[in-house]
Amino acid sequence: MRKISLSSTIVTHKSNLENLRQTIDSCLKAISQAQKFYDINFTFFIVDNSLSSLYLQELKNILPSFIKLIVLDKNKGFGHGHNSILPQINSDYHLVLNPDVILQEDALLLSLHYLNKNHHTSLLVPQIFSFEGERQYLCKTNPTLLIMFLRGIAPSFIKKFFSSYLKKHLRLDDNYEEVMTNLDYPSGCFMFFRTSFFCKIKGFDENFFMYYEDADIGKKIIQHNGQTDYVPSVKIWHLWGRGTHQSFRLKWATIKSGFYYLRKWRTGLF
């Protein structure tokens, strides 16, 4: 049986504890399934950005004892939270995970199978469904200023006018039941990295407090001659909150991250 070391990180910020518990349970079931084929040494980190002693105590109450809890004294965002464990990981593979996803029981097993056979792949992302079973089309092309406007603040009649452009951005003409290689813009809710490559690109750009850090990761992987693959046999369910559309604060954070992305990568209007 092949020996493999696997690490995973979830960053919390007053995240729903029941959703988090379900995420952890599904991850452990997926580990158990993978251990039928691999000798896995698994390290699980939770990084808490909540800055709340009450939430922290509630969080501690639901965590299994083997999970390594890291409590940050400043909330510097999603990327900084995930990067905080970089000095501590020396695994073969590293899973960046959201606190609101459910893994299919064979998700980690199939991820390991794929990366063991496809040595050129640096990052694997799965097929993603809502909790209601609706597919989320997240194999996107690189965001442009127009895409950010259309998806962020444009009224519905303008979105309708640019529907073909949005369709192209979401790659709706591609077959989401087949493997797609060399993705531009992977989803950040489940990122299965080769740890060596995650460390090579120094994790996330911490100038993104939240939003577009996954688009940036896609560009960094290409910049460092890596490859991102979408593997539909790996399935997860994601509670897609669409917080940007519900909060001015989150919408403003999206706008700031979007303009930073555009400046960094010199992305144009279209």
Domain spans of the chain? 2-138+176-242
CATH of domain 2-138+176-242: 3.90.550.10
d(CA 39, CA 6): 10
Quick one: average pLDDT of 10-17? 96
pTM: 0.95
d(CA 101, CA 217): 20
d(CA 155, CA 126): 30
Q: How far is the CA of 2 from the CAs of 37, 158, 251, in angstroms?
A: 8, 54, 46
Confidence of residue 251 (pLDDT cuts 50, 70, 90): confident
> How confident is the model over 188-247, as pLDDT tens digits?
999 999 999 999 999 999 999 989 999 999 999 999 999 999 999 999 999 865 544 557
> How confident is the model over 85-102, as pLDDT tens digits?
999 999 999 999 999 999
Which amino acid is located at 27 in the chain? C
Core vs surface per residue 131-162: b (16+ CB within 10 A) or e: eeeeebebbbeebbebbbbbbeebeeeeeeeb
> How confident is the model over 101-137, as pLDDT tens digits?
999 999 999 999 999 999 999 999 999 999 999 999 9
Q: How far is the CA of 84 from the CAs of 12, 45, 164, in angstroms?
A: 13, 10, 40
Cβ atoms of 45 and 70 within 8 Å: the answer is yes
